[in-house]
Amino acid sequence: MTTAIGTRTAHGGIVCDGLVKIYQSADIEVVALQGLDLEVEPGELVTLVGASGSGKSTLLNVLGGLDKPTAGRAVVAGHDLMSMRPSDRTAFRRNAIGFIWQQTSRNLLPYLDARANVELPMTLAGATKRERFRRASELLDVVGLVDRADHRPQELSGGEQQRVAIAVALANEPAVLLADEPTGELDTTTAEEIVSVLRTVNVELGVTGLIVTHDPLVSGHVDRTIAIRDGRISTETLRDRGGADGVISREFAVLDTAGRMQLPEHYVSALALERRVRLELERDHIGVWPESTT
Ligand code: ADP
Ligand code: MG
């Protein structure tokens, strides 16, 4: 299964610094990203979770070059999205990143078979027929679909369609793979299969991956999960699967560059914390009390 493309090393991660995205229409302004800091190392696979409306899709659209950030810094695979010219944006979308949508139908052209869908981005990038055939065969192999190469999307199951979508997203050897709820329309077993394919391409091709999901099972399969709340990163969960006791998972609050952090919502409600809290610095930790306690 490991082929020539399997030896390619990742050459890009993701960095966001105080990223702001404001959607403006005639009468309303929505601040979808409110100074978001994020770092994904080259070759890392990370999941992004958060309530509906917290800014997950906005972040992915900005990182994927589909939406322009309003302020702050976003660098993806070495490309600065703030200063990027429109013509560079098109090349960036075509070559530097791969994007997978939740709707299986949005990822593939219905009248092309799986192989032709995978070859299409390479045609647009000017690859030769021979090169396209070779790479499409390799990618269909990596996602486990060589024997379905001549099937059109409607002849494939939802899970198989998302596998083809992963191959399509990888066609032009992107450094970064962005997926917005790629398992949202699939049952749990199929969703786990898709995550396992994403892990395989991450490990074998060295592609950096950021996957939006609301499925804890999907999240549990990666080493780091980032939670977004109100357009900012609130917590991170790190998983260590090296120990004898199975997977050990720990959740951390995230400090931004100004020293701000969000207290988890259930901590705030458990102690009925309101506008002010009392802080106390101890030798190795910080205490937080409701204002009324003395
Ligand atoms: P999520 O993907 O986490 O559910 P989104 O990124 O889609 O959240 O949305 C974040 C916020 O931005 C929401 O309040 C949403 O209504 C708003 N929003 C998203 N896209 C647009 C848009 N194109 N125009 C105006 N508001 C938008
Ligand atoms: Mg969304």
How far, in Å, is the centroid of ligand 1 from the Cα of 226?
Answer: 18
Q: How far is the CA of 57 from the centre of ligand 1 (A)?
A: 7
Is the pLDDT at 5 greater than 70? The verdict is no
Q: Rg for the chain (alpha carbons), in Å?
A: 21
Measured distance CA(37)–CA(74) in Å, rounded = 9
Band of the pLDDT at 258, cuts 50, 70, 90? confident
Position 171 pLDDT exceeds 90? yes
- Nearest C-alpha to atom 12 of ligand 1 is from which residue? 32
Side-chain half-sphere CA neighbours of 41 within 13 A: 4
Residue 129 CB burial class (10 angstroms; 0-12, 13-18, ≥19): exposed
Q: 32 alpha carbon to ligand 1 midpoint, in Å?
A: 6
- Whose tokens are 């390799």? That residue is 138
Query: What's the pTM value of the predicted model, to 2 decimals?
Result: 0.90
Question: Which residues neighbour 246 within 8 Å (Cβ) at sequence distance 6 or greater?
Answer: none
| Amino acid 294: pLDDT | 67
Ligand 1 atom at minimal distance to the Cα of residue 67: 23
The token duo for 252 is: 């951390």
Q: By C-alpha distance, which of 7, 50, 1, 23 is closest to 211?
A: 50
pLDDT of residue 286 exceeding 80, the answer is yes
How far apart are the C-alpha atoms of 288 and 294, rounded to whole Å?
12
Query: DSSP class of residue 243?
Result: S
What's the confidence (pLDDT) of residue 292? 85
Residues in the chain, total: 294
DSSP state of 263: P
* Per-residue model confidence (pLDDT) at position 3: 41
Neighbours of 112 (CB within 10 A): 15
- Kindly report the CA angle at 189 between 179 and 219, in degrees rounded to 5? 45
List, as ranges, residues with CB under 5 A of the ion ligand 2. Answer: 56-57
Which of 21, 23, 52 gets mutated to test ligand 1 (max ligand atoms within 8 A of its CB)?
23
Angle between helices 129-142 and 188-205 (to 10 degrees): 130
d(CA 248, CA 238): 8
Instruction: Quote the pLDDT of residue 39.
Output: 94
On the question of pLDDT at 174 being above 60, the answer is yes
How confident is the model at residue 246, as a pLDDT? 78
Give residue 128's pLDDT. Answer: 96
Q: For the beta carbon of residue 292, count every other beta carbon within 10 angstroms.
A: 9
Mean pLDDT of 166-192: 94
Q: Tokens representing 206?
A: 């060295």
Q: Which residues of 209-224 are buried (b: 16+ CB within 10 A; e: fewer)?
A: bbbbbebeebbbbbee
Where is average pLDDT lowest: 69-73, 108-112, 181-185?
181-185
Looking at the predicted structure, is the pLDDT value of residue 293 above 90? no
Q: Is the pLDDT of residue 107 over 50?
A: yes
Q: Is the Cβ–Cβ distance between 113 and 149 less than 8 Å?
A: yes
